[in-house]
Amino acid sequence: MIVLDPDENEILQEKSVMIQNGAKVENGILHVTNKRILYEKQGERKLRRAEASKIFLEVPMYEVVNVASAVPKMSLMTKKKLSIEYRDSGDMKIVEFEIKHPEALVDTIKNWATTSKRDHEEKMKAEDQERFRREVELAKAKASKSNVNMINLGNPSQKRDSSAVQTNNNLPRKADTLEVCPECGEVIPENSKFCPHCGYKIRD
Ligand SMILES: [Zn+2]
């Protein structure tokens, strides 16, 4: 038994032989869903206990590169095959399954692979953007934190420990005239039009 995602539909579950790199695995079950291709070998029943089933192969649909069926016309001895070409951490691999009607699956798998690839790329892109957004936010938080320090330092109504002021920052400055970029938090020269660190427009 395999566990399906809520939006995952299984269209095939068939006892099949799997062939890869000349090696044959028998008595397994091929599962085809809109999200993956999976070959599972069920655990054998031993005298005392049943072995757990093993997943021999799991190919996400977005890694599928090509699908073909081989249907021999003449020989009754040769089995029909479904062959799947897929990417596996940078390598191209091919796996074949002996099933009854491979030709019926080819177009469906191709369509799903295309859809799945698009969804996967969008998901990766969204994750990249999210990561970038978080980095920017972190940088901004850091900058505004240093702004707060500067504001406190520059505020004469607040009691300040002058030794702390000195050790806080080694930049040469006059505490009350210090200007800080509101964007990146860096100290900027007085009356700058633009922040020399990040290019933020300070004044017209
Ligand atoms: Zn700046």
CATH of the domain at 47: 2.30.29.30
Q: Are 98 and 17 part of one and the same domain?
A: yes
Centre of ligand 1 to C-alpha 173, Å, is 17
Centre of ligand 1 to C-alpha 132, Å, is 18
**Torsion-angle region of 169 (φ positive above 0: left; ψ -120 to 50: alpha; else: beta):** beta
Q: How many domains does the chain have?
A: 2
C-alpha–C-alpha distance, residues 195 and 203, integer Å: 10
Going by C-alpha positions, the residue among 176, 173, 192, 172 that lies closest to residue 184 is 192
Identify whether the C-beta of residue 203 lies closer than 8 Å to the C-beta of residue 193: yes
In a domain, 74, yes or no: yes
Centre of ligand 1 to C-alpha 183, Å, is 5
Question: Quick one: pLDDT at residue 29?
Answer: 94
Last residue within a domain, chosen from 104, 139, 170: 104
Last residue within a domain, chosen from 49, 72, 104: 104
State which H helix or E strand residue 112 sits in: helix 106-154
Q: Are 85 and 40 part of one and the same domain?
A: yes
Centre of ligand 1 to C-alpha 91, Å, is 45
Identify whether the C-beta of residue 171 lies closer than 8 Å to the C-beta of residue 187: yes
In a domain, 4, yes or no: no
What residues are neighbours of ligand 1 (ion), with CB under 5 Å?
181, 183-184, 195, 197-198, 200
Centre of ligand 1 to C-alpha 46, Å, is 70
Determine the structural domain holding residue 142 and report its residue range: 128-188
Structure pTM? 0.62
In a domain, 42, yes or no: yes
> 175: which 2 tokens?
């505490």
C-alpha–C-alpha distance, residues 82 and 102, integer Å: 5
Going by C-alpha positions, the residue among 109, 39, 37 that lies closest to residue 67 is 109
Q: Are 25 and 100 part of one and the same domain?
A: yes
Please give the chain's pLDDT, 204 residues, in tens.
688 989 899 999 999 999 999 899 998 999 999 999 999 987 776 666 667 778 999 999 999 999 999 877 766 667 899 999 999 988 999 999 999 999 999 999 999 999 999 999 999 999 999 998 888 888 888 777 665 555 444 445 444 444 444 444 455 444 556 788 888 988 888 888 999 999 999 888
- Which residues are CB-contacts of 16 (< 8 A; sequence separation ≥ 6)? 28, 29, 30, 39, 97, 98, 99
Centre of ligand 1 to C-alpha 203, Å, is 12
Question: Quick one: pLDDT at residue 103?
Answer: 92
In a domain, 116, yes or no: no
Last residue within a domain, chosen from 72, 104, 136: 104
Centre of ligand 1 to C-alpha 146, Å, is 12
Going by C-alpha positions, the residue among 196, 192, 175, 172 that lies closest to residue 184 is 196
